[in-house]
Amino acid sequence: MAYTRETHPESFVGKAENVYEAVLVIARRARQIGELQKRRIDRHLGQTEVLEQAAARARAESGDDTVEIEEIEREKLQFTKPIVLAINEMVDNKIEKRYEE
C-alpha cells in the first residue's frame, strides 16, 4: 500500500495503542530508514570519489590534459522518502514495537 493523502489515522487502529503511539513508532522507524539511506549514499559517494581520483591520476600520468578518460558511469540512487516507507510498514504490520523497561 502506498502512502496517499487518503491514509488517515484510522488506518493505524489496532496497530498501536493510540494515534500518538503510532506517530512515535513511525517517526522512529523513519529515522532508522533515513540513516540506512544516508550510509548507502555515503558509501556510493566514496566509491565515486575513488574512481574520479583514478581518472585524474591517469590524466596526470599521460601528461596530456586533452586526453579524455571515459566518463564514469554513476549509479543513480533514488530512494522513497523514509516517512512513506515507515507509514507503509506500519499499515502492513511490518513494524515490531518494543519498549524498554
pTM equals 0.68
What per-residue confidence (pLDDT) applies to 69? Answer: 47
What per-residue confidence (pLDDT) applies to 100? Answer: 74
Q: How many residues does the chain have?
A: 101
Residues of the chain where predicted confidence (pLDDT) is lower than 70: 1-9, 63-75
Helix residue spans in 1-101 (DSSP H): 19-62, 82-91
What per-residue confidence (pLDDT) applies to 85? Answer: 93
33: nearest Cα among 98, 100, 101, 94: 94
40: nearest Cα among 88, 100, 80: 80
